[in-house]
Amino acid sequence: MKIAIDGPAGSGKSTVARALAGKCGVTYLDTGAMYRSVTVACLETGTDVADAEAVAKLAQDAKIEFGTAADGTQTVALNGRDVTAAIRTPQTDRNVSAVSAIPAVREAMVAQQRAIAGQKDVVAEGRDIGTVVFPDAEVKVFLTADPKARAHRRAVQREGGDAAKDPAATADAAQEQQILADLERRDKLDSSREVAPLKPAEDAVHIDSSALSVDEVVAQIMALIDAAKKPAEPAAAYTPAAAETPAADKPAPKPAAKKAEKPAAKKPEKPAAPAGPMRPFHGNSFDDYYDHAMRDYPWNTRGFIGFAVGVVGGVTKVLWPWRIEDGQKLWKAEGGRVIVMNHVSMLEPVIMVVTEWVHGRRARAVYKSEFDKAKPLTWLFSRAGAFPVERGTADMKVVRRAREALKRGEDVLIYPEGTRIKSDDQEVTLHAGFALMAQLAKVPVLPVAIVGARDITTPTRKFPHFHRVFVKVGDPITFAELNVKGRKQQAKAMEKAAMDRVYGLRAELRQEHPGKE
């Protein structure tokens, strides 16, 4: 089991996480210590923490290991050298936020964190554990405390005391004031940085420790762990037919459980997302590609796809000069979204995958499994991050696969119309699993429409017809804004809202570009 504890500096994460790990007999992973170790490497080598490239290099070369001292406390080694004391100096405190805001540093640290945890049970604490490092953690806690309480704890700690055990403990007032200012500065930097900012995971349980003792916080989290261990009621399998059933035939939806009071028990058979980078030339299976984060693909695959994106993007842009309206809504986003779009040709998945790639985001296209008859296509699609779906079935494996990708922050690209729609008169059967994927991953649905690509490859036209193609991106639709109760009713409402919006955007495009279908 993975237990994720996130929160701001001084909220008591370390004490609580250590106590929990001891009680459960599992590994304790202090990820803050890892960013601190890279900071020590900078300070020791005189590297400017503003020099992202140099700091990234140090992070990539840093091998961080945890050990245990004779008195039972944890030790930290950087490239074989003990840095347990050096990572806690005020100078390290002052510089660590800048170091941890560098994307390449985070990438290197997250890879090490996943490698250290491996398949083991861990209690990990940090800022992005529930959102980035272990988005699949069975228990996620966001631990906060009033800034004054946090500063007081730190000040007492610096003077050798323990405010949690001794509520009457005092510390030097000026020192406490200075610590408060430092904490607030660090909170601001950690929460406002672009990559993996400090923020609660959507499914985290919030605990405010200001007025609680360590034992009380630990007891609350132990209750969450026990609840997560209990097998869940089997979830009703998804079938499109079940989603069609009128609400009146169904039992009244249960009121939504309040997060902090009743954590949702998790399904015991939930597959663990494979962690860590894939090895190049290692006989990776298609499933490996479907289930790994795209950033963990082997370097040779990433290189190949990067090259293919350049070539395919360039060629299609010349043949069918495509323009994306409101593209910021596509590529300036945090976290994964299910992207739904009308389907008229093979051009639109290319446009979307290429555009997302160029802007540093990753889109995983879901394609119909009929394409898998041609193995070279399966090979190519898997490398590009796409995965197949068996249409017309309740393909829960794919729904779960998509959920994992979304939780990792990748987008999932779906064409609910299934078949390319060549005329407005063609009957459309919508494949509605997309709403369920978004629901399970707790992410919004992003509607997108395309015009101008309908007749680029018709049976009567042997050569592609070159003309302008327009894409328009809508605003993300969240389940909260639908304001509908009940799981199935919510999914149905989302299916309708999202596809209505796709067709609405298409109508707007047709109006803006007369003659484009």
Contact between 211 and 164 under an 8 Å Cβ cutoff? The reply is no
Q: What tokens does 182 get? A: 């430092």
Q: Point out which span in 124-132, 340-348, 461-469, 472-480 binds ligand DC (CB under 6 A).
A: 124-132
Query: How far apart are CB 136 and ligand DC at their closest, in Å?
Result: 16
Query: How far apart are CB 91 and ligand DC at their closest, in Å?
Result: 13
Query: How far apart are CB 360 and ligand DC at their closest, in Å?
Result: 19
For residue 2, the surrounding DSSP H or E stretch is strand 2-6
Query: How far apart are CB 394 and ligand DC at their closest, in Å?
Result: 37
Name which of residues 282 to 301 contact ligand DC (CB under 6 A).
none
Query: How far apart are CB 104 and ligand DC at their closest, in Å?
Result: 13
Query: How far apart are CB 115 and ligand DC at their closest, in Å?
Result: 15
Name which of residues 165 to 224 contact ligand DC (CB under 6 A).
186, 190
Nearer to ligand DC, 136 or 190 (CB): 190
Distance CA 284, CA 279 (A): 8
For residue 365, the surrounding DSSP H or E stretch is strand 363-368
Query: How far apart are CB 296 and ligand DC at their closest, in Å?
Result: 18
Query: How far apart are CB 275 and ligand DC at their closest, in Å?
Result: 15
Nearer to ligand DC, 99 or 438 (CB): 99
With CB under 6 A as the contact rule, the residue among 2, 18, 36, 361 that binds ligand DC is 36
Nearer to ligand DC, 103 or 504 (CB): 103
15 binds ligand DC (CB under 6 A): no
Query: How far apart are CB 161 and ligand DC at their closest, in Å?
Result: 19
Nearer to ligand DC, 113 or 378 (CB): 113
97 binds ligand DC (CB under 6 A): yes
With CB under 6 A as the contact rule, the residue among 96, 224, 352, 438 that binds ligand DC is 96
126 binds ligand DC (CB under 6 A): yes
Binding mask 229-248 for ligand DC (x = CB under 6 A): --------------------
Q: Which residue type occupies 488?
A: K
Q: Kindly list the distances between the CA atom of residue 42 and the CA atoms of 57, 112, 196, 231, 383, in Å, as whole numbers in the listed order.
A: 10, 18, 21, 47, 37
Residue 48's CB is within 10 A of a number of other CB atoms, namely: 10
Q: What tokens does 295 get? A: 């950033």
Q: Which residue type occupies 494?
A: M
For residue 286, the surrounding DSSP H or E stretch is helix 286-291
Distance CA 147, CA 280 (A): 47
Q: Which residues of 213-232 are buried (b: 16+ CB within 10 A; e: fewer)?
A: ebeebbebbeebbebbeeee
Pairing type for strands 74-78 and 64-68 reads antiparallel
487 binds ligand DC (CB under 6 A): no
Q: Point out which span in 31-39, 162-170, 284-292, 409-417 binds ligand DC (CB under 6 A).
A: 31-39
Pairing type for strands 338-341 and 445-451 reads parallel
Nearer to ligand DC, 133 or 449 (CB): 133
Q: Point out which span in 120-128, 246-254, 286-294, 432-440 binds ligand DC (CB under 6 A).
A: 120-128
144 binds ligand DC (CB under 6 A): no
With CB under 6 A as the contact rule, the residue among 28, 35, 134, 297 that binds ligand DC is 35
Residue 152 CA to its chain's centroid (Å): 34
Size of interface with ligand DC, in residues (CB under 6 A)? 13
Query: How far apart are CB 332 and ligand DC at their closest, in Å?
Result: 22
Distance CA 166, CA 173 (A): 17
18 binds ligand DC (CB under 6 A): no
Distance CA 436, CA 314 (A): 35
Q: Kindly list the distances between the CA atom of residue 410 and the CA atoms of 114, 354, 402, in Å, as whole numbers in the listed order.
A: 18, 14, 9
**DSSP symbols for 203-258:** TPEEEE-TT--HHHHHHHHHHHHHHHHSPPPPPPPP-HHHHHS-GGGSPPPPPPPP
Q: Point out which span in 44-52, 122-130, 418-426, 486-494 binds ligand DC (CB under 6 A).
A: 122-130
Q: What tokens does 149 get? A: 């309480």
491 binds ligand DC (CB under 6 A): no
SS3 state at 465: coil
Nearer to ligand DC, 32 or 486 (CB): 32
Nearer to ligand DC, 30 or 348 (CB): 30
Query: CA 450, 452, 457, 459: dihedral to nearest 10 degrees?
Result: 110
SS3 state at 188: helix
What angle (nearest 5°) sits at the alpha carbon of residue 51, between those of residues 46 and 55? 70
Query: How far apart are CB 212 and ligand DC at their closest, in Å?
Result: 19
Nearer to ligand DC, 127 or 506 (CB): 127
128 binds ligand DC (CB under 6 A): yes
127 binds ligand DC (CB under 6 A): yes
114 binds ligand DC (CB under 6 A): no
Q: Which residues bind ligand DC (CB under 6 A)?
A: 9, 31-32, 35-36, 96-97, 100, 126-128, 186, 190
